[in-house]
Amino acid sequence: MSVRHEETTSDVPARTSGPRVVPPGGRGRTVSAQLVPMLSQVFAGDPPVRFVFWDASEAGPADGAGAVVVRSPRALARLAWAPGELGLVRAYVSGDIDLDGDPFELVTRMGERTDAALRLGPRALVGCAASALRLGAISLPPRPPDEEVRLSGFLHSRRRDAAAISHHYDVGNEFYELVLGPSMTYSCARFADAHASLEEAQAAKHDLVCRKLGLHERSGARLLDVGCGWGSMALHAAGRYGAEVVAVTLSPEQASYARRRVERAGLAGRVEVRLSDYRDLRGEAYDAISSIGMFEHVGTKRMREYFATLRSLLAPTGRLLNHAISTPGGSRMHGRTFMNRYVFPDGELVDVADVVAAMERSGFEVRDVESLREHYSETLRAWVANLDRSWDEAVRLVGEPRARVWRLYMVASAIGFDDGGLAVHQILGVAPDRRGVSGMPRARSGFEDTA
């Protein structure tokens, strides 16, 4: 039997307005008074942050950190029909819940107390449903935001991978310009200089990758950039080191944007941008391969095929630099999670030890592993600042719900890198020749960043 959804074009005020004042329900008691018992169950004690409800009543500490603003009883309905993380995210994306204040502090405080609560045990579920019923918030299931996606087809098939990439990257190049800034680089920067700008730190990251790959040792080296994004790594390698670059992406918008950048830079003779799957790469030889922020989309199911394909494309003594997010024990973005439904459907974070082992099984000799964990938190905070500075323009370009998705995921990710739940590693592998010669420098200083 199908379930009809309630439409969501109702009484939620604009993001910039204050809490909407309506008569409190439930025998004259304020909303906060009726919800404090439920909040106490969710947080296993007093709420760690201030909550402001649609009748202007409040609960929790007023300590200057800000507040979670519950703008509509529909937030409770969303939690009742989708308990836990998914219901909370739907409420935030749709505007039923807002964050007023420092989002990093608010999310950190709630995260410290809700790891277990987000799974909502039977007692909390009953409390949530009872509170929603008292406040008249029980209704037909509210329609999920349009930004929520569920992919079909076999996991990591070509068609499904292309759909996953399009969901995240084909939201508009102008939007990414606002978030990423002039570097148009959607991966961890390297803030070797504490006073570096985001653009300088991204250039430093690209230069480090180029030097790890040995592009500074000879002009005209042939580089394959897998998952090239908007072409920043390809432009850096060709412009600074004279590399001959083939850059591939599954995103049509990225490919067209990167081609325009290549033309404007006068590097059309050195950089070729292809709209292509890595599985289509055959019969070519490269001196170096960079894979920056792309491996998260490959998945453990395809990891062996991925590294075997790249290994087959490398000339003797050729190098691969795999730059990817990881997490201890690995993690797949699946099911009813925020990241799977809204951000990176089918994404997988592989334990760095498993990545090293997979590269070795594919014939690579792993020569260097470097963590940039703290650098990614700083990168994400810079992106959030860019988004907040241009919030009205971002909403004009992609709509408020999608802008909210990006803000929440970048805030949560920064916190993950802060506390060590997430990491990012550059793993450098080499394909030795038949005599075992690697061509690697004798010391790590041989590829230190000089940018």
Q: Is the pLDDT of residue 331 over 90?
A: no
Q: How far, in Å, are 21, 38, 56, 237 from residue 72 at the CA level?
A: 10, 17, 11, 51
Q: What is the pLDDT of residues 166-181, one digit of tens each?
A: 888 788 899 999 999 9
What does 399-412 look like in DSSP terms, one character per residue?
-HHHHHHHHHHHHH
Of these ranges, 44-53, 99-108, 231-240, the one predicted with the greatest mean pLDDT is: 231-240
Which strands make up the sheet holding 58-59, listed edge to edge? 58-59, 50-52, 66-70, 97-101
What does 123-188 look like in DSSP terms, one character per residue?
HHHHHHHHHHHHTT---SPBPPPTT-----SSTT-HHHHHHHHHHHHTT-HHHHHHHH-TT---S-
Q: pLDDT grade, residue 164 (50/70/90)?
A: confident
Strands 271-275 and 58-59: unpaired
Interatomic CA distance for residues 279 and 159, integer angstroms: 12
Residues 6 or more apart in contact with residue 260 via CB below 8 angstroms:
none
Q: What is the pLDDT of residue 3?
A: 40
Q: pLDDT grade, residue 15 (50/70/90)?
A: very low
- Topology classification of domain 158-447: Rossmann fold (3.40.50)
Burial class (CB in 10 A: 0-12, 13-18, 19+), 295: buried
Q: What is the 3-state secondary structure (H, E, C) of 75-130?
A: HHHHHHHCCCHHHHHHHHHHCCEEEEECHHHHHHHHHHHHCCHHHCCHHHHHHHHH
Q: What is the pLDDT of residue 123?
A: 64
Structure tokens at 433: 């020749």
Q: What is the pLDDT of residue 246?
A: 98
Residues 304-325, mean pLDDT to the nearest whole number: 96
**Of residues 129 and 429, which shows the higher confidence score?**
429
Q: What is the pLDDT of residue 346?
A: 81
Q: How far, in Å, are 133, 154, 297, 298, 357 from residue 301 at the CA level?
A: 45, 11, 11, 8, 15
Interatomic CA distance for residues 92 and 200, integer angstroms: 34
Q: Where are the domains of the chain?
A: 31-134, 158-447
Region for residue 318 given its phi and psi (left: phi exceeds 0; alpha: psi -120 to 50; beta: otherwise)? beta
Q: What is the pLDDT of residue 336?
A: 81
Q: What is the pLDDT of residues 353-388, one digit of tens each?
A: 999 999 999 999 999 999 999 999 999 999 999 999
For 21-30, 244-253, 279-288, 352-361, which range has the lowest pLDDT when averaged over its residues?
A: 21-30
What 8-state DSSP symbol labels residue 341? I
pTM of the predicted protein model: 0.87
Percent of the chain whose predicted confidence (pLDDT) is above 90 = 59
